[in-house]
Amino acid sequence: MYHNPVLLKKSVDDLVTNPDGIYVDCTFGGGGHSREILSRLSEKGKLYAFDQDLDALKNTIDDPRFTLINQNFRFLENALMMYGVSKVDGILADFGVSSHQFDEAERGFSTRSNAPLDMRMNVMQLLDAKKVINEYEEEHLADILYQYGEIRESRKLAREIVNHRKLKPIETTEDLKKLFSYIPQFKQNKVFAQIFQAIRIEVNQELEVIKELLVQAHRMLKPGGRLVAISYHSLEDRLVKRFLKNGMFEGEPARDIYGNYDKTFDLLQTKAVVPDSEEIKENSRARSAKLRTGIKLK
C-alpha cells in the first residue's frame, strides 16, 4: 500500500457538509482521503488534490469530478485560481511524510535504512539533506536541531557533524547515524528520529509551508467552510491549534476593553481528535496523529 490514510472516516465526516461542493485534498499521496471524499460527493461535486511528489501521480483517480495538481500546497490559491476556483467548501491537509516516502529506502527519510542523504518530498528541488549536513554553518545546524528536532544538546551534535565533515563528507543516513553511536542504545532511536525530523523539516521548509497553507485556506474557504488538519508532531499541531484559535502563529490578538478578540474559526471539537487503539494497532504510524477542524466564521 502506498499510504494508509489516518483518521480516514472522521476527517472526511468533518470535512464534507455539502455533496455539491468544491473540496481540496492538499496531500493526495496514495489517494485514500480523496477517494473517500469523492464517495461523499454528488455528480455536481468537485475535488482538487495537490501533491508535489512525482510518485503520487501514479495514483491519480479516473473521475471527471477529480483534478490532481502536481504542486506543493503552498501554491494553493494561485493553482486553484488557474482552474477558475476562488472559494471552496472544505480543505483537508494530512501533514507529514507518507508511508511510501518512508518505505522507499533510497529517499533517505527512514532511520532504518542506509540511503543517500536526500529527504526531498519534491525530488526536483536543489536543497537536500546532504547539502544541509555538509554545508550549513555550525550555528545554523544547531538552531535547526534545536528548533525542529527539539534536541537539547543541539550545539554538541552540530559540532560533531562539522568536525567530522572536515575529514570526510557525510553522504548517507548510516554515515550520519555512526557519528552518534556513542549515545546510549536505549536513547538512540529517539535521538535519530529527532535528528532526521529536524533535517527533513529544513529540507522541505515544512513549517513555513504549513503557515502559508493555513493563511491561504482561510481566504479560500466560504463562510461555514471547514478546514481539517492532521498533524504528527507538536511543531505542526501548535501552528494549527494557534491559527484556528486566533488566526495567528505568534503573539496574541488585539482585544477590546472586555478582553474579546475577533475569531476567524469556530472549533468543531475543543480538543484534538486522536486515533483509537484499533486504528493504531492496524497502522502504527497513526499513533502520534492529531486532528483539528475549524469552521470559518462569517
Indicate the annotated binding residues: 31-33, 51, 73, 94, 101
Annotation: binding site for S-adenosyl-L-methionine: 31-33, 51, 73, 94, 101
Cell 475577533 identifies what position?
262
- Dihedral Cα 12, 16, 20, 23, nearest 10 deg: -70
Amino acid type, 101: Q
Which pairs from 85-88 meet CB under 8 Å and 24+ separation? 85/22, 85/48, 86/220, 87/22, 87/220, 87/221, 87/222, 87/225, 88/21, 88/22, 88/23, 88/24, 88/48, 88/220, 88/221, 88/222, 88/225
How far apart, in whole angstroms, are the C-alpha atoms of residue 234 and residue 239? 9
Cβ atoms of 267 and 292 closer than 8 Å: yes
Q: Which positions ≥6 away from 104 have C-beta within 8 Å?
A: 55
The H or E element containing residue 33 is: helix 32-40
Backbone phi, psi, residue 47, to 5°: -130, 130
